[in-house]
Amino acid sequence: MSPGILGKKIGMTQLFRADGVVVPVTLLKAGPCFVVQRKTPATDGYDAVQLALNEFVKAKRINKPETGHLKKANVEGAKFLHEFRLKGGEGDLKAGDKVLVSDFQPSEKVDVIGTSKGRGFAGVVKRHHFRGGEGSHGSMHHRAPGSIGASSFPSRVVPGMRMGGHMGNEQVTVRNLEIIEVDTEDNVLVVKGAVPGPNGGYVMIRRSKQ
């Protein structure tokens, strides 16, 4: 049994349960995936499996080292690769094996990992939800961060200070999303809730650690 699967975000919609409750869901194009490499403690120092998402990719879009790496497992047309750690007793996967969406079942919980949308440069009010200064009475720091450190000591800005900067475009993990439906014909996984990233963005779907 695979610890996870790779895919792409299709978009959001909503479904009605049998009792009439509306459920917001995200559609994920999950798989098919191939096992490219099986890592073991004897050869690599840890237990893991590397998966590749099978999709149409021109040969010139993949560099020569990665092409040779895929050729060892008889895999072609794969650009997105990711590694999943394995626990004891999960060593039944080997290079060349297929991982399909049918490995997952409704009501199962998964963690979805994606890259959030890039928002460009943002100030502290938008990026860190600062309150900001007064809006009247001669205030001159409406959306400014305020003090960022002491003068005499330590006479520098300490690392990790919340300031304006690049917002978004970071790896985000959403945990314990419930699988609502599994479409084995179109390789679509329907999960409850929102998933990070834009439509068409790559995502990693792994079984929740519970």
pLDDT tens digits along 27-52: 999 878 888 888 888 888 888 888 98
Q: For residues 11 and 146, what is the distance between their CA atoms, to the nearest angstrom? A: 39
Q: Is the peptide bond before 106 cis (omega within 30 degrees of 0)?
A: no
DSSP at 163: -
Q: For residues 188 and 181, what is the distance between their CA atoms, to the nearest angstrom? A: 8
Task: Please report the sign of the dihedral spanned by the C-alpha atoms of residue 28, residue 111, residue 57, residue 181.
Answer: negative
Question: Quick one: tokens of 37?
Answer: 């490499």
pLDDT tens readout for residues 152-194: 899 999 999 999 999 999 999 999 999 998 988 888 999 999 9
Do 4 and 206 contact (CB within 8 A), yes or no? yes
CATH superfamily of 4-118+171-207: Translation factors (2.40.30.10)
- The domain locations on the chain are 4-118+171-207, 119-167
